[in-house]
Amino acid sequence: MNLRRWCVPFGVATVMLMSMSAHAADPPANMSVSKAPRLREIVISVFDLERTLAAFTGPLGWSVVERGPADTTVARVFGLPVDTQIDQALLSGLTRDGVQIRLIAIRHDDKARTPIRPGGRWWDVGGFGPLQIAVADVDTAASGLARLGWTGNGVPQSSSEHRMIEMRGPDDLTISLAAGNRDSRDQTSGTVIVRDIAVWRRFMTEIVGLSNVVEAERRNVDPEFFGLPGSARGIADHRWASIELSPTSHIDALQFSRAIGHDFSDGVRAPRLGVLALRLQVSDESMIAARTKSPKALIAADLQIERLSPYGTVRTMALRAPGGLAIEMFAPEAKPMTEAELKSRFARGGYATWVRFNNMLTGNVRWNADGTAHVVWDTGNLDELGTWTIKGDAVCTAWTRLRSNRELCVHHYRLDDRTTQSFRSETPQPDGIYTWH
């Protein structure tokens, strides 16, 4: 925890956000892209979206920026089948350009939709725990949540500088309501419990590319400082590190030397309930650098094109941080290959291994320099001849029997020197991943 700030962690993790203003922030699509990663969203999986949404838009005073189904590409980044239905609501309670919360309800195998850490115990490693949200009046916000069925969780904490009440709601989602001094109103923070803080720090700095690290070792800390009963043991001796994500946001990590708990790092996966991911806006160069430096085991979702509203079509990838939390990195304004780039790629024809977007169909496609084409699928008995041409920024192919010889055009987005991802030009439907030979 950062002792320079008034934010005091409760439970496994704490995120401090503002709800002083109830206006909806402008869509961040026009935000400038800096080379340094910047936190844009905290993604929370819930079971009953309407019920959780009522808590944010009611007692907490947050505003809905947008609401509706997620694109199929979003499910793929989460590692879910592309036909998975995801309802979502993007919320803002912050000042302009502040961190937002995205609530998602994943309609997929309800039996697997259990909290990341049953009961949200503070000593368990794996993801985030409670959200810490700054409100104008703690007691008024707590009373409003109580009327919606939320219950108090622990003893309220008070000091000369702040007051905090922890409330537990649906899906074990816990919110620490806090009111502090004016200097802290724009601060956004999150805290995670990790097994090895040195490993966590190297990951965040050397791979994700963050800087401005502060680290310290603490001893003889009062348990109540963590929002715990005075009888709690094993937390006095701990290490702490903080990394800034922007001038007004930071992530803290804690490593306890003696506290004993469970490690749920491997369970921080969609569709589990709880805080699943941090979304960081980055430059394309820094995302490629993170991908290059990351061992394969740390890549939760490889580089791909995602349609992420309200940012538009973006290049994205996700890493698995120590502790299990996904760090999604996206670079806005992904553009399809131009006509000149396509002609260069197909100058002498082309040959690629094709994987359909849902990973259920694969094959090999050859575009010959004379304008003829040949496709062979690995499953079934499709062995088809056809023709192809380049029309603007799209490659259009017609097969003799498939689709009754109707031409289908796709846009290609370059992922790396050997890989492209395609989308049909006539509909927003993803087409597949091509590995070029």
CATH number at residue 95: 3.10.180.10
- The single-letter DSSP state of residue 142 is H
The enclosing domain of 377 has a CATH number of 2.40.128.640
> Distance between CA atoms of 17 and 21, rounded to whole angstroms?
11
Taking only the tens place, the pLDDT of each residue in 24-62 is 333 344 444 456 788 889 999 999 999 999 999 999 988
Residues 286 and 315 in one domain: yes
Q: What pLDDT is attached to residue 112?
A: 63
Would 4 be classed as within a structural domain? Answer: no
Amino acid making up residue 188? T
pLDDT surpasses 90 at 327? yes
- The single-letter DSSP state of residue 206 is I
Q: What phi-psi label fits residue 160: left (phi over 0), alpha (psi between -120 and 50 degrees) or beta? A: alpha
Taking only the tens place, the pLDDT of each residue in 208-259 is 988 878 887 776 666 665 656 666 677 777 888 888 876 667 778 888 877 7
pLDDT surpasses 90 at 188? no
- Parent domain of 408: 339-436
Residues 66 and 158 in one domain: yes
Boundary of a domain, candidates 315, 331, 347: 331
pLDDT surpasses 80 at 330? yes
> Distance between CA atoms of 186 and 250, rounded to whole angstroms?
11
Q: How many other CB atoms are there within 10 angstroms of residue 321's CB atom? A: 26
Boundary of a domain, candidates 307, 331, 355: 331
Q: What pLDDT is attached to residue 184?
A: 47
Would 6 be classed as within a structural domain? Answer: no
CA angle in degrees (0–180, nearest 5) for 271-272-278: 85
Residues 353 and 322 in one domain: no
Residues 211 and 268 in one domain: yes
Per-residue tokens: 361: 């169909």
- 352-356 average pLDDT score: 86
Would 2 be classed as within a structural domain? Answer: no
Q: What pLDDT is attached to residue 25?
A: 34
- 84-96 average pLDDT score: 84
Boundary of a domain, candidates 309, 331, 353: 331
Note whether 133 and 178 are within 8 A (CB).
yes
Q: What pLDDT is attached to residue 313?
A: 94
Residues 83 and 130 in one domain: yes
Domain count, the chain: 2
